[in-house]
Structure 1
């Protein structure tokens, strides 16, 4: 009962999987959750290869009953909760004129409200342990990016919410941090679930801009993407550092990219940068 307990969402692959294994290696009792436990084979193999044990549980961040059941189960079985890492999320590609408002709402439901639901359920237990609330956002939570309007809006919302919550949570003993990856070589991009050629063909007046954006983005992922394990190192920093920063980027590239926005008082630097992405 003395071992610290961390719950991580979205651990079937990518950063979540690497963070779960890394936390267990660092001595944390790690509750690795995922929406569909039938997809846990890669997680189990990674844990076995690393010689660590994970407590694998079902948790759907869009289902409050699933969240409550998972957290109640952790408290019942482990007696405490010392940290939560909100990692679950879903990518999205689209632009306003070519998608429905319902599409945008779904992106917000997973990437923003899912974080809020998990955080709200966990906070009483984090208060009791003097724990940590860590959320994996994105450089897209700082710099708006073409054809990622809905995704960036959700990540902006998460960043704003957590930045606002941090001093309030600190008053009751809970440390809040956000971790901002750039390009990471994970299944996240393929999990967007769209046919890129079909998207360009259906983009109408936006076709040329979309193709230019896709060409640039694919090139970036091929040449400069971090591995999930590299990005997860920053998540573990937020988990284990004595006094973690509120905002942590996962690479020098991410620091430079977000720095463009954070020092850009009139917005011209960001728009000058991203305008070049669409031809």
Structure 2
């Protein structure tokens, strides 16, 4: 049943990381949160965090696999029936992927696109009629990798670039029917994102052939970047800001580092600055 006069937000990918933090923060900010995940059996961490924050009654766990169109449609309809309206959606579910095309299959690339891009599209497709009815918000967590292409992240960046382009194109159309669209771009965040890649790094490097030196340099650099990563709570805070802002921006970064990184690309008209920067990620430092 609806929780008082709270507005309702559906957030995908809430079993850990930014999604979990955003679900708790949104509940604390006055939202009725439908927190979705592929496996509700992994909801203990979310429930514990919600209880600690005193918002358990405002966080409702539901099963949702964003790559299953029938589940997406059914989940959205259930939310509207149960809570009376859908006022906002936060597309957060996604999966990291490290690889380069000679070392993987096209099927690997398609699978990365499926969860990170088409999963978002499925949720948007199901939610838009209800967001239009409520004059709601559509927020999508992308990545600085949706602005700057990064070595050994070809498929992941392609998916995030696609999401950024999709939302940038959708935003004025959605605004014409009363729906505000925003993208939130985190950089390195101290979550389970890297662990969830499931990479056997020594074995992966050993199998990389001529790419092994570049891959080693990239992994060393990335490990260092995540050692100084932003906390999940800090990364989630801009999501709640976008949900509650009177006039939410289209694009927002979650840290000064993310702003500087994406700013380089947005001001780099011929692409040379980005290539110079990321080229240094895969070569030995002098």
Does the TM-score normalized on the shorter chain lie above 0.5?
yes
Runs of 4+ in 1 over 6 A off after TM superposition: none
Instruction: Name which of 230, 246, 250 aligns with 1:246.
Output: 250
Matched, 1:14 2:40: no
Structure 2 runs not aligned, ≥5 long: none
Q: What residue is the counterpart of 1:96 in the other structure?
A: 101
Instruction: Name which of 234, 239, 257 aligns with 1:235.
Output: 239
**SS of aligned partner of 1:185:** coil
- Deviation, 1:63, is 0.4
- Deviation, 1:208, is 0.2
Task: Give distance in 2, aligned partners of 1:228 and 1:127.
Answer: 30
**SS of aligned partner of 2:138:** strand
Q: What residue is the counterpart of 1:202 in the other structure?
A: 207
- Deviation, 1:252, is 0.3
- The 5 Å alignment of 1:73-84 reads 73-84=78-89
Instruction: Name which of 109, 116, 119 aligns with 2:121.
Output: 116
Q: What residue is the counterpart of 1:44 in the other structure?
A: 47
- Deviation, 1:250, is 0.2
Q: What residue is the counterpart of 1:191 in the other structure?
A: 196
- Deviation, 1:65, is 1.1
TM-score, length basis structure 2: 0.96
Summarize deviations over 1:82-107 as a string: whole Å, max 9, x none: 00000000000100111100000000
**SS of aligned partner of 1:93:** coil
Structure 1 runs not aligned, ≥5 long: none
Q: What residue is the counterpart of 1:259 in the other structure?
A: 263
Summarize deviations over 1:45-94 as a string: whole Å, max 9, x none: 00000000211100000001111121111011101000000000000010
Task: Give distance in 1, aligned partners of 2:28 and 2:280.
Answer: 43
Instruction: Name which of 168, 180, 185 aligns with 2:185.
Output: 180
How many residues are treated as equivalent by the alignment?
Answer: 278
Task: Give distance in 2, aligned partners of 1:248 and 1:237.
Answer: 10
**SS of aligned partner of 1:12:** coil
Task: Give distance in 2, aligned partners of 1:229 and 1:70.
Answer: 26
Q: What residue is the counterpart of 1:33 in the other structure?
A: 36
Instruction: Name which of 117, 132, 149 aligns with 1:127.
Output: 132
Q: What residue is the counterpart of 1:24 in the other structure?
A: 27
Task: Give distance in 1, aligned partners of 2:201 and 2:250.
Answer: 36
Task: Give distance in 2, aligned partners of 1:157 and 1:245.
Answer: 19
CA RMSD of aligned residues (A): 0.6
Task: Give distance in 2, aligned partners of 1:192 and 1:119.
Answer: 26
Instruction: Name which of 69, 72, 75 aligns with 2:77.
Output: 72
Matched, 1:219 2:224: yes
Summarize deviations over 1:166-207 as a string: whole Å, max 9, x none: 000000000000000000000011101111111100000000
- The 5 Å alignment of 1:166-177 reads 166-177=171-182
Task: Give distance in 2, aligned partners of 1:149 and 1:197.
Answer: 21
**SS of aligned partner of 2:183:** strand
Task: Give distance in 1, aligned partners of 2:202 and 2:142.
Answer: 28
Summarize deviations over 1:7-57 as a string: whole Å, max 9, x none: 000000010000000000011011000000010000000000000021110
**SS of aligned partner of 2:181:** strand
Q: What residue is the counterpart of 2:92 in the other structure?
A: 87
Task: Give distance in 1, aligned partners of 2:149 and 2:117.
Answer: 16
